[in-house]
Amino acid sequence: MQQQAQISNITLNQDVEYLNEILDEVLRHEGGEELLETVRHFRALSKALRDDDRPSNFTQLNDEINKLNSPLREKVIRAFSVNLQLYNIAEQNYRTRRRRQYQMQDDSIIQTRSLEDGVNQLFDNNISIDQVEKVLEDISLELVITAHPTEATRRTMLRIHQRIADLLKDWEFSYTRYDKKVIQEMIENEITILWQTAEIREKKPSVMKEVSNGLYFFDKVLFNVLPELHQDLEDLLEDKYNHRFHVPAFLRFGSWIGGDRDGNPNVKAKTTYKTLKEQRKLVLTKYEESIDKLKEKLSQSAKKVDVSEALVESIANDQKELEYNGWHKQDEVYRVKLGLILRRLRLTSKDQDGGYIDAHALLDDLILIQESLELHHPQGHPIKVLRHIIRQVQIFGFHLATLDVRNHSGEHESTIAEILRQVGIADDYKALDEDAKMETLIKVLEDPRPLISIYDEFSESSQEMIETFRTIKEAKDTFGERAIEVYLISMTTSCSDLLEVLVLAKEVGLYRVYPDGKVKSRLHVAPLLETIDDLKFGPTMIKRLFDIPLYRKHLEARGDLQEIMLGYSDSSKDGGNLTANWELYKAQDEIHSIAASYGVKLKYFHGRGGSLGRGGGPLYSSLLSQPPVTFSDGVKITEQGEVLSSRYLLPDIAYRSLEQATSVLLTSIAGIEETEKHTEMPTEDARDAMTTISESALSKYQELVFGDQDFLKYFNQGTPLNELGALNIGSRPMKRKGSDRFEDLRAIPWVFAWTQSRQLLPAWYAAGTGLKAIAEKEEGLALLQDMYQNWPFFQATINNLQMALTKADLEIADAYTDMIEDQKMAVRIFNQIKEEHALTSEMVLKIAQQEELMDHQPNIKESVKLRNPIVDPLNLIQVQLINQLRQLDDEDESKAILEEVLLTINGIAAGLRNTG
């Protein structure tokens, strides 16, 4: 127990103080004593405000901030922003140090939700070898990186963060005064460079720039971490069970970047193809690097060892075909073979004869080497570098990451309407009712003849749609079937939305019906259920879809697998976080039962954002909030924006996040309960309670968001929504159709703006009213407490509420109401928000049976507490600046003020570790 306590109480204060001391020296150098003393003064005032929240303290801090003028004000903003960036780096170093501390202990002290913890739970719960084999067969997790505009930090700055993190780790393990001195000088240089680097992008990134940013994480981290995690799991299972398991490539990464065209006019068919070429280029380059290292290692001579005849024969065939010896010493057979592999890889990258047909051919060559090595290498001591490369090829193929393609259902409908009108099938397809649409589409799908030819001409938008499907076919033919596997349909509301996509697939040869009725289909078609109404209708729609014989044949051609995407962002924006979570849970449960009755496997694709208001939170927590019955069909989750840098910038942090998710999946599929006391949760009473909670919360949420005619004005004026568009953090517009309607506002800026104003309303609002509807009933509170203790979904929901309520700060948020013209209206709405915040906090604490929010996770609680005094001044400066900006007419002066506003946005985002 003592060792456990030591691990839990490791403090990051030392790193924070160390980095702050260096930052202060940089501030003194860059801005003189005036800057340093001003920053220190505001730090002290802000800390005093947090230690003693008397109104006089707040007034003093706010008054002194209002006296600030540029250029000093800009430097103060940047100082607090850099301070928060360094705090994030220190916290990441703390997490990696904590993980190492656990690994240094004996095997009686295991980190929760580590791979070792998951394997131990399997063994301790008497999960047999056969059962483990079944678990490994069923486990599947795909994480999909997106280009959604939520990463406020430039990649240039992220690289500096990475270098500082590496140096901080080196400093910890340096043992001489000289080494520590040198490392400190290097950290000071990096912080100086960080200070002297422009934080704000001058223009929006292009789609291909976003592709490059995404590939950075594959290049620097994921290409090595994913194989390592697979191999560690295999080794841990063997050690525990004394049995050699084969762990399949269950964990993969996909991407939307370059494939997601929903609302992004910059993503074209050519963009998608170019993206796949860039991915292929990177993965082939990485293989060359890995093979080169392996060639250095495998120097065994055929004069000393017996190699396999199959390898000798393979070398002879390759040398003849390629007219190349591979290596100057022919007795070093492995180097010869690896040299020939390198030659084929280089030919592959140039699309020349002699290259590999596909990744399977490369895999065959590597396995040939492995099998030959086993003839003379000691058993139980495999060449891990070779195993690592084999695993890389199994995971990444020649495509690196499967690219999903997504577009809005309305775009498909418009293209189909134009095609059907032009060929004389339907004059006004859009005007048809759903039954008539389905009848028309099924007839088209049953007819093997195409509707269009390459000579037909259509409108620009329809032609681009057709080219997109032609590109998908070309991509699959060129880069392999895994290059693009799924076509996602945003705002799916009916079966015809899916059949329209199948018609477009048919027209380019991705879908085909043969005369004997057999169907060939090379593309999964996945609906995206986004709104509360769509989630409620989802089970009915899926059942109707599965009743269509032609669609069932399509599913049979796709291995009887249906992918369904669930939208957390728009459902939360539409109905509030708590209602959205319950409707999502119910939809998964109901659709799973329907699919099972048809013999169809499901893969749910969870469109979660990084922020709590968009379904965010730790990866393992996202898994725990789902019905466990859905795990065995495979899980797919988006990894968006800032999540990429916070989870995947550093290898240790990436590994920890992925092992937590893997551990949860292992134990969940095996049927091991997360909670200590097993109950049949959710019971009927628990389900009924959640329905009541959801209905009550929905009514409260929509009463404010849709029922109050002043609410949109409150939101627009009382948050930095209108200033966010200038941040240039993504290639995609903030609004669909460029309108000012609430319905067309994307969920990302909706959450981003509330986060900046410290209200975080989408993540918690109306939950208190919903929970109270049960708590005030007889035995209601006891039921809620039982649900919290024994139902992972409800526990994750309550814990996410705790996090959101803790990060929200209504005293700071109150300052933002000063930006609203109608002060009477501002006070009225803000008081509603304040009352609901108090009620939600009260309910959550009673249910979790805690004294204070986040008592169950003291490390995170302490982190928020330490950040707040650094974030608060940025919020108050932001309010001051936005008030000035909105009153200015002078373009040059407005531009200067706007740049300072954007700096505060970046700083606050770093402090809260969330944007949208």
Reading phi first (left if > 0) and then psi (alpha if -120 to 50, else beta), residue 843 is in: alpha
Q: Look at the chain and count its residues.
A: 916
Report CA Rg, the chain.
Answer: 29
Q: What CA–CA distance (Å, rounded) separates 22 from 181?
A: 12
The H or E element containing residue 252 is strand 251-255
Q: Centre a 10 Å sphere on the Cβ of residue 887 and count the other Cβ atoms it contains.
A: 9
The residue with tokens 């940089």 is: 26
Strand partners of residue 254: 144, 402
Q: Centre a 10 Å sphere on the Cβ of residue 392 and count the other Cβ atoms it contains.
A: 23
The H or E element containing residue 481 is none
User: Cβ(499)–Cβ(507) under 8 Å?
Assistant: no
Catalytic, 148? Answer yes
- 408, 524, 573, 636: the active-site residue: 573
Q: Residue 568: which of 555, 579, 553, 556 has the closest Cα?
A: 579
User: Cβ(816)–Cβ(833) under 8 Å?
Assistant: no
Omega into 71 within 30° of 0, i.e. cis?
yes
Those residues whose C-beta lies under 8 Å from the C-beta of residue 776, and which sit 6 or more positions away, are none
The dihedral of CA 770, 771, 776, 780: what is its sign? positive
| Tokens linked to 548 | 């269509």
Query: Rounded to whole angstroms, what are the CA distances from 477 to 239, 357, 588?
Result: 42, 11, 34
Give, rounded to a whole angstrom, the gap between the first and last alpha carbons of the chain. Answer: 40
Q: Residue 494: which of 553, 438, 574, 562 has the closest Cα?
A: 438
Q: Residue 809: which of 912, 884, 708 has the closest Cα?
A: 912
Q: At 579, which amino acid appears?
A: T
Phi and psi for 250 in degrees, rounded to 5?
Answer: -85, -20
Give CA angle at 95 (793, 606), nearest 5°: 35
Phi and psi for 490 in degrees, rounded to 5?
Answer: -70, 150
Q: Residue 150: which of 579, 638, 626, 574 has the closest Cα?
A: 638
DSSP strand E in 730-853: where? none
User: Cβ(48)–Cβ(57) under 8 Å?
Assistant: yes
Instruction: Determine the 3-state secondary structure of 839 from DSSP.
Output: helix
| Tokens linked to 19 | 């980095």
Strands 251-255 and 635-639, by their bridges, are: unpaired
| Tokens linked to 237 | 């299972």
Q: Centre a 10 Å sphere on the Cβ of residue 810 and count the other Cβ atoms it contains.
A: 15
Identify the DSSP state of 548: -
Catalytic, 297? Answer no
Q: What is the DSSP string of 672-730?
A: --SSSS---SSPHHHHHHHHHHHHHHHHHHHHHHTT-TTHHHHHHHHSSHHHHGGG---
Those residues whose C-beta lies under 8 Å from the C-beta of residue 775, and which sit 6 or more positions away, are 781, 784, 843, 846, 847
Strand partners of residue 516: none
Calculate the CA 843 to chain-centre distance. Answer: 30
- 75, 148, 408, 412: the active-site residue: 148
Q: What CA–CA distance (Å, rounded) separates 794 from 788?
A: 6
Calculate the CA 656 to chain-centre distance. Answer: 15
Q: Residue 250: which of 652, 663, 557 has the closest Cα?
A: 663
Annotated active-site positions, please? 148, 573
